[in-house]
């Protein structure tokens, strides 16, 4: 993470956070640091010093579909995405 990147929720860097009508978080126990999420949604995810995905304040720059695609791309399904009503979008 570079000095110019800010976290969406500094007190809970892996979420949960709400971006538009999505609520999502990274399950740090499942995250293996593959960084697929960073490759797909670089405005939303970055790796921390423990090689775990954390959520950037700039997440609004990635579309909902991009954030969901990043979750789908995670090899361990560590990114859990829900709508604002609590209905699970991914993983199903």
Q: Which domains does the chain have, with CATH numbers?
A: 19-86 (3.30.70.20)
What residues contact 8, with CB distance under 8 A and at least 6 apart? 15, 17, 19, 55, 56, 57, 59
Return the pLDDT at 1. Answer: 64
Question: Residues 19-72: pLDDT tens digits?
Answer: 999 999 999 999 999 999 999 999 999 999 999 999 999 999 999 999 999 999
Question: Got the DSSP string for 40-85?
Answer: H-TTTEEE-TTS-EEEBGGGGGS-HHHHHHHHHH-TT--EEEEETT
Q: What are phi and psi of 79, to 5 degrees?
A: -100, 115
With contact defined as beta carbons under 8 Å apart, do 53 and 14 qualify? yes
């Amino acid at each position: 993470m570079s000095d110019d990147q800010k976290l969406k929720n500094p007190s809970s860097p892996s979420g949960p956070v709400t971006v538009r009508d999505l609520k999502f978080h990274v399950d740090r126990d499942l995250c293996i640091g593959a960084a697929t999420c960073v490759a797909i949604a670089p405005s939303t995810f970055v790796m921390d010093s423990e090689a775990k995905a954390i959520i950037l304040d700039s997440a609004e720059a990635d579309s909902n579909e991009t954030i969901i695609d990043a979750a789908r791309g995670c090899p361990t399904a560590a990114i859990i995405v829900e709508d604002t009503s609590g209905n699970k979008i991914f993983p199903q």
